[in-house]
Amino acid sequence: MAVRGELEWIAQLRRSAPRTGGALRLGIGDDCAVLRPPAGHDVLVTTDFSLDGVHFRRDWHPAHSAGHRCLARGLSDLAAMGARPMAAFLSLALPRGLRKTAAGRRWVDGFLAGLLTLAERTGTPLAGGDTATAPGEQVLADIVLLGSAPRGTELRRSGARAGDGIYVTGALGGAAAELEMLSHRPSRFRTAVADGTHPHLFPVPRLAVGSQLRRRGLATACIDLSDGLATDLQHLCKESGVGALVDADMFPHHPLLQRQSPEQAHTMALRGGEDYELLFTAARTARVPKRIAGVPVTRVGVITFGSGVLIDQASVRKEQQAKLREALQGGGWEHDL
Amino acid sequence: MAVRGELEWIAQLRRSAPRTGGALRLGIGDDCAVLRPPAGHDVLVTTDFSLDGVHFRRDWHPAHSAGHRCLARGLSDLAAMGARPMAAFLSLALPRGLRKTAAGRRWVDGFLAGLLTLAERTGTPLAGGDTATAPGEQVLADIVLLGSAPRGTELRRSGARAGDGIYVTGALGGAAAELEMLSHRPSRFRTAVADGTHPHLFPVPRLAVGSQLRRRGLATACIDLSDGLATDLQHLCKESGVGALVDADMFPHHPLLQRQSPEQAHTMALRGGEDYELLFTAARTARVPKRIAGVPVTRVGVITFGSGVLIDQASVRKEQQAKLREALQGGGWEHDL
């Protein structure tokens, strides 16, 4: 099979991508794409790297998963602000030799298929981007998402107030748990598909939840869980000028955490990251339903005055108290409880 | 000096970047940036890689130049469609060790300063992006530009018709000539600045020209010269479904080409690339001024029926005819004239 040149590769992308439709007035093939947002809407923009060896590993992640995750990262940012996707732009640099091997071409085709499947499922046309030869041996991708939301209605990180409840969608820690399994036996995941049971390989951006939160005016602030609850809640608190108290016993643990030790499960739910669930705050008086757009919603804490995030956990408190009793009886004390 | 962490680095970017203003409703610090295009305007989007070892070399290009060129590539795409910049987004991945050395930090600061200087000069707020640790030893940048143009007025590649004149702005081949000089003695260019005399290191995106072409309805089609006149004219012809005949003797040669042989000067003007001038077509009856927004405009050819780009050059024709006479007199014939 002949080596595909850059032009053929762009032509392939172009065939996969709609030329116009929805907000897209002009797609791949000119100096810029042209978009027309719905009347009275603002434009939301987010960009995210997906770098081989940093955000995914070609020896671990099936190509479909790498492509899906690349787009999902950006869609999740749109979801967190309650925006609807308008278009995606993919900048993709491939190592020089990659498309010279059948396996390499399969990888690239799989990556694109994974990305385009999620794009179609979420109504996100691929409207352009850039291609280049990568300077090293790693695949380098950067995804840009444009979305729209009615003027001034987008969900921000900065609106949380003391007394607001803190909520998360779906389940926590599943991505970290699946990543650990992947690292031990990548071959087991070769044929995994985006069926909603792979929190790490095929995360589901919460677009419908974000959109409903915005439309119903339920959330005072919102952020997506990309870095882990502990870190992302800190971001939200910093932007809002508030503190937070969360109870780790209330965290909705992902079923995959059942295979972990309690300590490990706690850490994965709190700090695992890449769950791409939404974390939002709502006024004390708001009636937050148990499910939004079919996704479970769980209250995990409360916004406080001051700053910083305190993690409370009754089970740890009990353990500490038991150890304290033992220590007092035995005359010793472990400082690092 | 302490190693700067990712958060400090984002904070640095954030301090350099405006939070709001113009079309920018919300800048760095949330899941997405929020833009409000002027009423009745479409949104134009372009993304361009700037990869160390592919688009620039850290051992050749001064950091300011690499940053300037990164933004200039995207601005030139907006110029080619007659759009006005609304915001830029920078995704930047740095090798792990780079910010641990004083020289590395200077490079990153210089890169950002070069980019932000051009951003300020062109009224383009830096509104977000992404940061990451690069998987290899190369700096990886991807720039996204959003612009606006009144609905349906953008200049496209696809409007050229047989009989239209073909025009270029500024001068050709300067970027290729300066790149050659840079490759021989990079140290000579360490202190170069963006004063308009460095076609490769500090190209000037033709935003004002593009904008005037659009407003005056002068151009039937337009493209920016990033890959070289020969290639970019082919792109324009393909999108318009036409052919072209250009006369290389009419090319406005950049003064730096005077140091080159005639053959080399011809090649650099025709195929050099990265001049970031505009190539546009105008109806036969249009009165195209000699200067637009202070930039010289030169007619170089005509759009034809059919397809493909023919390069004509009287000086070469004369040479060919002389050789043909010699050959006929001598009985031989060189095929590769």
Domain count, chain A: 2
Residue A155 domain-assigned (yes or no): no
pLDDT at B35: 95
Q: Model confidence over B87-113: pLDDT tens digits?
A: 999 999 999 999 899 999 999 999 999
Is B12 a member of any domain?
no
Which CA distances in Å does B75 have to A86, B16, B172, B196, B208? 22, 19, 18, 16, 11
Angle in degrees, CA A212, A216, A217, rounded to 5: 115
Whether this model's pTM surpasses 0.90: no
In which band, very low, low, confident or very high, does the pLDDT at B18 lie, cut at 50, 70 and 90?
Answer: low
Share of chain B above pLDDT 90, in %: 80
Cα A297 from Cα A283, distance rounded (Å): 15
Quote the pLDDT of residue B28: 86
pLDDT category of residue B324 using cuts at 50, 70 and 90? low
Domain co-membership, B204 together with B280: yes
CA-CA distance, B296 to A304, in Å (whole number)? 63
Question: Has residue A250 been placed in a domain?
Answer: yes
Res B309 pLDDT > 60: yes
Which of B47, B53, B78 is closest, CB to CB, to A130?
B47
State whether residue A253 is helix, strand or coil. Answer: strand
| Interface with A, mutate which of B26, B31, B94 (most A CBs under 10 A) | B31
Q: What's the CATH code of the domain at B274?
A: 3.90.650.10
Q: A25 to chain B: which residues are within 8 Å by CB?
A: 42
Domain co-membership, B261 together with B222: yes
Domain match, B131 and B206 both: no
Q: Which of A98, A116, A150 is the last residue of a domain?
A: A150
CA distance A46 to chain B (A): 5
For residue B2, what pLDDT band results from cuts at 50, 70 and 90? Answer: very low
Q: Which residues of A touch B278 (CB under 8 A)?
A: none
A78 and A138 within one domain:
yes
Contact across the interface for B30 and A239, Cβ inside 8 Å: yes
At B162-208, the pLDDT tens digits run 999 999 999 999 999 999 999 999 999 999 999 999 999 999 999 99
Give pLDDT tens digits for B276-302.
Answer: 999 999 999 999 999 999 999 999 999
Q: Which residue would you say has higher pLDDT here, B222 or B24?
A: B222
pLDDT for residue B314:
75
- Choose among A49, A137, A154: nearest Cβ to B132: A49
Where in the sequence is the domain holding A80, given as residue range(s)?
17-150
The C-alpha R_g of chain A, in whole angstroms, comes to: 22
Question: Are B146 and B169 within one domain?
Answer: no
A123 in contact with B at a CB cutoff of 8 Å? no
A26, A63: one domain? yes
Instruction: Mark whether A119 and A227 lie in a shared domain.
Output: no
Among residues 146-165 of chain B, which lie with CB inside 8 Å of chain A?
146-147, 151, 154, 156-158
With CB atoms and an 8 Å threshold, state whether A54 touches B26.
Answer: no
pLDDT score of A142 = 96
Q: Is A96 on the interface with B (CB under 8 A)?
A: no
> Do A141 and A172 sit in the same domain of this protein?
no
**Residue from the list B29, B35, B55 with its beta carbon closest to the beta carbon of A42:** B35
Touching check for A225 and chain B: CB below 8 Å?
no
Contact A133 B54 (CB under 8 A): yes
B83 touching A, CB under 8 A? yes
φ and ψ of B237, to 5 deg = -65, -40
Read off the CATH number of the domain in which B79 is found.
3.30.1330.10
Identify the pLDDT of residue A10.
62
Using a CB–CB cutoff of 8 Å, tell me whether B144 touches chain A.
Answer: yes
Take residue B105 and report the two structure tokens written for it: 């930090």
Q: Is residue A57 part of a domain?
A: yes
A48 to chain B, any CB pair closer than 8 A? The answer is yes
Closest Cα in chain A, distance from residue B152 (Å): 9
Are residues B172 and B309 part of one domain? yes
ipTM of this predicted structure: 0.86
Q: Which two tokens stand for residue A77?
A: 């940012």
> pLDDT tens digits for A96-152?
999 899 999 999 999 999 999 999 999 999 999 899 999 999 999 999 999 999 999
Domain boundary, last residue among A121, A150, A179: A150
B325 inside domain: no
What local confidence, expressed as pLDDT, does residue A3 receive? 32
Residues of chain A with pLDDT under 70: 1-14, 16-19, 315-317, 319-320, 324, 327-337
CB proximity list for B241: less than 8 A, separation 6 or greater? B158, B307
Query: Looking at the domain assignment, is residue A3 inside a domain?
Result: no
What CA–CA distances, in Å, run from B209 to A34, B171, B193, B222? 20, 14, 23, 11
Q: Are residues A171 and A313 in the same domain?
A: yes
DSSP of B72-137: HHHHHHHHHTT-EEEEEEEEEEE-TTGGGSHHHHHHHHHHHHHHHHHHHHTT--EEEEEEEE-SSS
In order of B327, B328, B330, the CA distances from B333 in angstroms are: 5, 7, 9
Q: List, for residues B206-260, the tens digit of each pLDDT value.
A: 999 999 999 999 999 999 999 999 999 999 999 999 999 999 999 999 999 999 9
Residues B176, B310 share a domain = yes
Q: What is the pLDDT at residue B210? A: 98
Name the B residues in 7-26 with CB < 8 Å from any A CB.
25-26
A interface test, pick of B30, B78, B213 with most A CB neighbours within 10 Å? B30
Of B52, B81, B133, the CB nearest to A31: B81
Determine the pLDDT at residue B330. Answer: 56
* pLDDT score recorded for residue B177: 97
Mean pLDDT (chain B, rounded)? 90
Residue B8 included in any domain: no
Cβ pair A25, A34 in contact under 8 A: yes
- Residue B6 falls within a domain, yes or no? no
Mean pLDDT, residues B134-163? 96
**Domain's final residue, options A120, A150, A180:** A150
Same domain, B188 and B309: yes
Q: Residue B322: what pLDDT?
A: 72
Question: Hey, which residues does B52 pair with through a beta bridge?
Answer: B56
Residue B329's pLDDT is what?
66
User: Maximum CA pair distance of chain A?
Assistant: 78
Give the nearest partner residue to B135 out of A32, A52, A223, using CB atoms: A52
Distance from CA of A62 to the nearest CA of B (A): 19
Residues of B in contact with A32 (CB under 8 A): 44-46, 77-78, 80-81, 83, 145, 147, 154
Instruction: Return the beta strands (E) in chain A as ranges.
Output: 24-26, 33-35, 41-51, 84-94, 126-133, 140-150, 165-169, 221-224, 243-247, 278-282, 291-292, 295-304, 308-312
Q: Are the Cβ atoms of A30 and B136 closer than 8 angstroms?
A: no
Touching check for A105 and chain B: CB below 8 Å? Answer: no
Beta strands B140-150 and B41-51 are antiparallel
Please determine, for residue B336, whether its predicted confidence score (pLDDT) is greater than 60: no
